[in-house]
Amino acid sequence: MAKLGHEVVAVDVDHERIAVLAAGRAPFFEPGLPELLTESLATGRLSFTTEIQDVAGADVHFICVGTPQLEAEFAADMRFVDAAFEDLMPHLRPGSVVAGKSTVPVGTAERLAARLGEAAPGATLVWNPEFLREGFAVKDTLHPSRMVYGVPEGDDGARAIAILDEVYAATLADGTPLVVTDYATAQLVKVAANSFLATKISFINAMAELCEVTGADVKALADAIGHDDRIGRKFLNAGLGFGGGCLPKDIRAFMARAGELGADQTLTFLREVDSINTRRRVRMVTLAREELDGSLDDKRIAVLGASFKPNSDDVRDSPALDVASQLQLQGAVVTVTDPHALANAKAKNPLLTYVARTEEAVADADLVMLLTEWDEYVALDPRKLAGIVSGRRILDGRNALDRAKWRDAGWSYRALGRH
Ligand code: UGA
């Protein structure tokens, strides 16, 4: 927002995080973010605070807090959205616009708008979901694929549209498509998009299961069906499946919400999407056992990658970390490496062994497993690694390696959905 020319005050209850940001450091790994932060702080248009009253003078208030999955349920934990909203309300004035960015169960905006009507008359709520991907957050924010405004009917809605148009003037001038709609649709757009993406991944992973039993090749299959632009090749990469802080919890919260709305049958297919996805992790462990002659006991396994995807240090519901933990639980001696996610991985699973250098991780390994396709792992030279490992066995959990290159260098290569 500061880059787009606005004056921005960012508030959070996490003092440590605010201190880090105010010092110009990004609290997580995201390509391009440190540079953008430094640039924006230098303009004087961006400031950080833990004091909610510091936002009182703003015209537009974005609510961006997380909606993680509840501990023992599929539903989303709404405490952070509700708390942010309640804290903000005393500082609103007639004409203020509150824009919801958080991914929420449909119906939340309607509930919050009613609350706003009681506690801050004259302020207007809009729902303005975001679609950024981790690893591409800066690009996706400055050049989004589309913009969605969910607004109330009438004059309040028209005024809010005009204000958002001003906020996003530069983005809209770039030709970004804009969809103006009601609250319910705007909230659904976000979860529908993530559910579709998750379904696409699980579809190709289901095909991978069939490829495994028929001897077919899922990569060639994805290429061939992807040439049909009604299908498209994107998000058809078979492998360990999806993780992270969005897709898994969003499809679960969506199912939970559909149940609450009395439409429980509508989304039962997402249960299948979820189980195909988790099955891939189990299959990966089975493949490892097969490669190691039927037993994981005391076998040395090097795991390349801990984050849920490359270019992120996020380990929330990381398929890689999950598989590494399972292998260890089943008796293997596992060493995990990752270019940026080691600190987060260690905090999440302190029992695994972590090393910073790839060479150290694969030294004397009986099996090497690529579980997150960071560029530096994809570019590894199998000839060089051949001399350090104890057994030349590689499992490609992301169908990202050059199979021929590894086989030519004397490795046994296996992947999910390919022979
Ligand atoms: C996802 C959506 O892509 C964003 O549009 C959305 O804004 C975001 O969630 C959100 O809800 O905030 P993200 O979680 O950053 O973004 O990650 P994705 O790029 O969607 O990848 C999710 C997972 O799917 C990763 O574990 C990735 O490895 C896996 N994946 C992706 C595959 O297994 N195969 C593919 O072909 C693509």
Q: What ligand 1 atom has the least distance to the C-alpha of 198?
A: 24
pTM attached to this predicted model: 0.97
Which residue, by CA, sits nearest to atom 34 of ligand 1? 237
Residue percentage of the chain with pLDDT more than 90: 99
Pocket of ligand 1 (CB under 6 A): 103, 130-134, 194, 197, 201, 235-237, 239, 241-244, 246-247, 250, 308-309
Residue 245 C-alpha to ligand 1 middle, in angstroms? 9
Quick: pLDDT tens for 78-114.
Answer: 999 999 999 999 999 999 999 999 999 999 999 999 9
Q: Quote the CA–CA distance of 3 and 117 in Å, as a whole number.
A: 32
pLDDT score of 305 more than 90: yes
Mind listing the domains of the chain with CATH numbers? 8-190 (3.40.50.720), 199-274 (1.10.1040.10), 281-415 (3.40.50.720)
Rounded to the nearest whole angstrom, what is the distance from the C-alpha of residue 382 to the centroid of ligand 1?
A: 29
What confidence tens digit (pLDDT) does each residue in 22-62 have?
999 999 999 999 999 999 999 999 999 999 999 998 999 99
Catalytic residue numbers, as ranges? 246
Local structure of residue 70 (DSSP, 8 states): P
Ligand 1 atom 1: residue of nearest CA: 133
Give the pair of three-digit tokens for residue 380.
Answer: 């590894």
Residue with the smallest CA separation from ligand 1 atom 28 is: 309
pLDDT in tens, 197-247: 999 999 999 999 999 999 999 999 999 999 999 999 999 999 999 999 999
DSSP output for 270-299: HHHHHHHHHHHHHHHHHHHHHHTTT--TT-
**Under 8 Å between Cβ of 352 and 334:** yes
Q: What is the pLDDT of residue 264?
A: 84
CA 311 to centroid of ligand 1, rounded, Å:
12
Name which residue sits closest to atom 2 of ligand 1, judged by CA.
Answer: 133
- Is residue 36 within 8 A of residue 138, CB to CB? The reply is yes
pLDDT at 225: 98
Kindly report, residue by residue over 129-186, the tens digit of the pLDDT.
999 999 999 999 999 999 999 999 999 999 999 999 999 999 999 999 999 999 999 9
